[in-house]
Amino acid sequence: MQLLNNNPIYRLLIPKPLRTFFWKKFLRSKIINSYKDSSDEEIKEIILNIKKNGIQIISSTLSQEYDASKIKVYYDEVKNLNYVNFKKNKKIYFKKKWSKRRIQKALNQLYIEQDINSPHRYLTSEFNVDKNTIVADIGCAEANFSLDIIDKVKHIYLFETNNVWDEPLKVTFEKYKDKVTIVNKMFSNKDSANTIDGGKFLKDKGVNFLKIDVDGYEEEVMNSLQENLKTTKKIKIALCTYHADTDYKKYKDILENYNFKVSSSKGYMIFYWDKNLKFPYLRRGVLRAEK
């Protein structure tokens, strides 16, 4: 199936929704068979849910507790953007071209991701932020995480390479503009028209919390931050590790070498958008590190 996924003729002739359907059906069979004898309670729950509901990125029962159709999407005629009442007195704005249904699905997934029992959850009661926290949200997209914590922290630096998020982000954080700095460039290890040397930029900013979710560019981000991580005496990191099967172990080893205490979020994720996904199919969602 992996060979088909990478075949340009197959990708040209078969529509993406149908390719995804075939791929998820293939993965369902492979994953159930691969983990059928597992005694891990987290894995057993995932397998039961896959049998019942099929493959999802977060294939646990908690995803059944959320209903995208109940999310109300509004239109701001002044800003010319769609938004959702994310939390009390907090509106989160979205891309202009996104339909109501797409916004509902996207935000519903974000709610699932940050559920207290989700493998994509960044914070816990012990691993948290406070009034002295300065955050770098690297790969923020619509910045739901930062909007959720904005009232609790000192300052947030938002990094998002996709410039279509620039306008929605400015509107979402309009009333917080004194606490938020938006950097509409790719977090990299060099400065250019479209990239920023993130490690250099953050060097003297006092950042003590890093949230990193960059869809497979984790290595570039971590390379840029290498000196910062070595020399900073007190800092927390929430790093997404489900985009590649070796990421959790690789960055756990690196960070422990920098004297970080490392743990993972609960459960596992199935990143089926990786068309080369193979055993082990289940990946830890978020690495949490602190020193």
Structural domain boundaries of the chain? 122-267+280-290
| One-letter amino acid for residue 266 of the chain | K
**Residue 273, token pair as written in the block:** 């958008």
User: For each successive 10 residues of the chain (291 residues), what is the average pLDDT?
Assistant: 76 87 94 95 92 90 85 96 92 95 96 94 96 97 96 97 92 96 93 93 95 92 93 96 95 97 95 92 97 96
Looking at residue 135, its pLDDT comes to 98
CATH-assigned architecture of domain 122-267+280-290 = 3-Layer(aba) Sandwich (3.40)
DSSP string spanning 133-184? Answer: -EEEEET-TT-HHHHHHTTTSSEEEEE-S-GGGHHHHHHHTGGGTTTEEEE-
Looking at residue 4, its pLDDT comes to 74
Question: Are 146 and 171 in contact, with CB atoms under 8 Å apart?
Answer: no
Q: State pTM to two decimals.
A: 0.93
Looking at residue 253, its pLDDT comes to 97
**At which residue do the structure tokens 């509901």 appear?**
53
Looking at residue 132, its pLDDT comes to 97
